[in-house]
Amino acid sequence: MKRTAGHLADGREIIYFDTDPVAARTAEDTRDLPPQAPASEVRRDPLTGEWVAIAAHRQTRTYKPPAELCPLCPSTPGRPTEIPESDYDVVVFENQFPSFAQGVPGEPSTVEGMPMVPSAPARGRCEVVCFTADHNSSFAALSPERARTVVDVWADRTAEIGAAPGVEQVFCFENRGEEIGVTLHHPHGQIYGYPFVTPKTERMLRTAEEYRARHGGHVLGDVLAAERADGRRVVVESEHWTAFVPAAARWPVEVHVVPHRQVPDIPALTDAERDDFAVTYLDVLRRLDGLYERPLPYIAAWHQAPVRTGRDLSWLHLQVFSIRRSADKLKYLAGSESGMAVWVNDVTPEQIADRLRR
Ligand SMILES: [Zn+2]
């Protein structure tokens, strides 16, 4: 894979990843953009101890532009986009409206008049990953070769962003579908480099530690073995990965794609595991789109180890889930879910696994 890094007109970094070893990526960004001045901050909720990012400048971001004004399509003569080249395989660039960025000024402090509320510049990184130059495609429609390139891009970005000053955790994800709140239809995902370990990951590390103290093994390793032995919730099984509906699924559609070997993050996957993931994941996505005979809105979230802590307690996995609970109904996060973080799921995991296996 050929990797070509450059900069956009406002100084943001852009990186092309090409399978063609001689792809020349020399096009200049001709737009007249003001220099980037991200100004978001993080504040810690004094009651829960969880960090919240305050990024008011994101209010002005691009909202559902018509296809002919898509900023993620390649540039054409007279219509420059975020990607200066006239074509690309996979391209990554810094988000124009980042929740986290390296250049945020300021020092850690507390909110004025609130000494119990720590605040800090939201220093981290937010990137956009375009999976294909084809506006009307989707991840599920990619070739296995292209999906494999995306895995390599996730690995590259996880390693590089994880090495940036202050970044504690790297999160690769995809929001797909208007129902999820996607503002750009072009097939793309995002990568966040957070300046803290996320609450979800902290919780999972604590649970894995307690489980290890009591039972000796890794909780996800034991879950994986039990799911494979039982089989009722398994959707797809390959040499290196198993995709299953978790026994305590929160969402009406939820699948976990788990490697058979304990690895902390995507960079730790072997070539064989990456190849196999590409094929397995495409199979899972096509089954998801087949559920209601229309593209399923979903969130795909990679759970990776933090950069500096809990790496031996982490077991990489991908969680894919949807808010669609029937052909014409969506699940909303209402009182119990939003107020108390207690999910009520009105589909059984076994039923949904049955339907996904067909
Ligand atoms: Zn597009």
Which of 58, 73, 321 minimizes the C-alpha distance to 180?
321
- Span from the CA of 80 to the centroid of ligand 1 (angstroms): 12
What confidence score (pLDDT) does residue 59 get? Answer: 57
Active site members: 188
- Span from the CA of 182 to the centroid of ligand 1 (angstroms): 13
**2-198 and 200-262+269-357, same CATH topology:** yes
- Say whether pLDDT at 113 is over 60: yes
Selected residue with higher pLDDT from 113 and 103: 113
- Span from the CA of 172 to the centroid of ligand 1 (angstroms): 20
Q: Residue 109 forms beta bridges with which residues?
A: 119
Q: Give the rounded percent of residues in the chain with a pLDDT score beyond 70.
A: 97
Domain ranges of the chain: 2-198, 200-262+269-357
- Span from the CA of 15 to the centroid of ligand 1 (angstroms): 17
- What is the C-alpha to C-alpha distance for residues 288 and 297, in angstroms, rounded to an integer? 9
Chain centroid to CA 146: 17
- What is the C-alpha to C-alpha distance for residues 185 and 178, in angstroms, rounded to an integer? 8
Architecture of the CATH domain 2-198: 2-Layer Sandwich (3.30)
What confidence score (pLDDT) does residue 70 get? Answer: 93
How far lies 205's CA from each of 168, 218, 318, in Å? 14, 11, 16
pLDDT in tens, 320-335: 999 998 888 888 888 9
Which of 101, 147, 150 minimizes the C-alpha distance to 127?
101
State the pTM of this model.
0.96
What confidence score (pLDDT) does residue 326 get? Answer: 87
Query: If 0-12 CB within 10 Å is exposed, 13-18 middle and 19+ buried, where does residue 21 land?
Result: exposed
Query: If 0-12 CB within 10 Å is exposed, 13-18 middle and 19+ buried, where does residue 82 land?
Result: buried
- Span from the CA of 74 to the centroid of ligand 1 (angstroms): 8
Q: Which helix (H) or strand (E) holds 190?
A: strand 188-194
Q: Calculate ∠ Cα 64-89-141, nearest 5°.
A: 65
Residues counted in the chain: 358
- What is the C-alpha to C-alpha distance for residues 331 and 240, in angstroms, rounded to an integer? 32
Selected residue with higher pLDDT from 22 and 70: 70
Cα within 13 Å of Cα(109), Cβ side: 9
- Span from the CA of 312 to the centroid of ligand 1 (angstroms): 40
What confidence score (pLDDT) does residue 184 get? Answer: 87
User: Which of helix, strand or coil describes residue 302?
Assistant: strand
What's the farthest any 2 CA atoms get from each other in the chain? 64
Superfamily of chain region 200-262+269-357 = HIT-like (3.30.428.10)
Which of 153, 167, 10 minimizes the C-alpha distance to 88?
153
- What is the C-alpha to C-alpha distance for residues 85 and 2, in angstroms, rounded to an integer? 15
* Lowest mean per-residue pLDDT among 53-67, 262-276, 279-293, 310-324: 53-67
Which of 240, 244, 218 minimizes the C-alpha distance to 230?
244
- Span from the CA of 184 to the centroid of ligand 1 (angstroms): 8
* Lowest mean per-residue pLDDT among 33-37, 107-111, 168-172, 276-280: 33-37
pLDDT in tens, 292-329: 988 999 999 999 999 999 999 999 999 999 999 888 88
How far lies 263's CA from each of 146, 270, 316, 344, in Å? 23, 10, 6, 31
